[in-house]
Amino acid sequence: MSRRILALDTTAEFGSLALIEDTHIVEETLLHSPDGFGHVLFPQIEALLKRQGWGYGTISGFAAASGPGSFTGVRVGLTAAKGLAEACGVKAAAVSNLKALAWFGDGNERAPLLDARRGEVYAALYDAALKPVHPETVGPLNAWLAALPRGAQIISPELERFGAALNGHAVRQAPRAIAGAVGLLAELRDPAALDANYVRRSDAELFWKDS
């Protein structure tokens, strides 16, 4: 029986949905919702399933991008994946956005990079087998670049944000739609085990700690 996964990413302004069958991306669609995905996610899922003739009963599991990204967006995606998995009686997976970005690389050392705002970036370093070489982190771009091994391939959907700072580094443009990679990397488990990958504390937590 085929392994069918519905994967979703709602962690940023641009999100995506994908249907995976075994090792093949059946369809992937880019979503754009600057106001969040809570009001558009399920209609988009229904439309995607209808286009491909999939029913919920044919799906083996659900996968969601777990962050880092928008705190609200991360929660929307994980809650949807958990809820759908529990309703369908199947398993689910949470996949780091940074690991999903590393999937698009082709270097021996892959350094996914995302803008974290506040003058910082989310970043990590993976090998070609997508095993972490250094843990995911958040911090100033220049400090991270200075510590990056020579020849490591920087992978990001927003290379233009970092401008001349990346000069001299190997770079690879990643697409904004990462749900396909999320689905292909999914390791299905009990939906209750899914957890967010915030990397950085929320604004609310920072305010409470510093007040």
pLDDT tens digits, residue range 105-133? 999 999 999 999 989 999 999 999 999 99
Q: Comparing C-alpha atoms, which of 116, 3, 12, 123 is closest to residue 58?
A: 3
Together in a domain, 79 and 116 = no
Together in a domain, 166 and 132 = yes
Q: Does pLDDT of 95 surpass 90?
A: yes
Together in a domain, 111 and 19 = no
Together in a domain, 39 and 69 = yes
Mean pLDDT, residues 165-194 taken together:
97
Together in a domain, 44 and 133 = no
pLDDT digits (tens, 9 = 90+) for 32-64: 999 999 999 999 999 999 999 999 999 999 999
Question: Quick one: pLDDT at residue 200?
Answer: 75
Q: Comparing C-alpha atoms, which of 117, 82, 77 is closest to residue 96?
A: 77
Question: Quick one: pLDDT at residue 204?
Answer: 38
Mean pLDDT, residues 173-181 taken together:
98
How far, in Å, CA of 134 to CA of 148, rounded?
Answer: 10
How far, in Å, CA of 184 to CA of 162, rounded?
Answer: 28
Together in a domain, 82 and 155 = no
Together in a domain, 181 and 137 = no
Together in a domain, 49 and 33 = yes
Mean pLDDT, residues 9-30 taken together:
97
Domain of residue 197, CATH code: 3.30.420.40
How many structural domains comprise the chain?
2
Together in a domain, 74 and 118 = no
Question: Quick one: pLDDT at residue 201?
Answer: 61
Residue 154, C-beta contacts closer than 8 angstroms, at least 6 positions apart: 111, 112, 113, 148, 166, 169, 170, 171, 172
Q: Does pLDDT of 210 surpass 90?
A: no
> pTM, whole model, 2 decimals?
0.93
Q: Does pLDDT of 209 surpass 60?
A: no
3-state SS assignment for residue 128: coil
3-state SS assignment for residue 6: strand
Q: Which long-range contacts (CB under 8 A, 24 or more apart) does 131-135 make?
A: 132/99, 133/109
What average pLDDT does the chain have?
93
Domain membership of residue 153 as a residue range: 105-173
Together in a domain, 141 and 188 = no
pLDDT digits (tens, 9 = 90+) for 121-174: 999 999 999 999 999 999 999 999 999 999 999 999 999 999 999 999 999 999
Together in a domain, 40 and 75 = yes
Together in a domain, 133 and 88 = no
Question: Quick one: pLDDT at residue 211?
Answer: 31
Quickly count: other Cβ atoms within 10 Å of residue 161's Cβ: 14
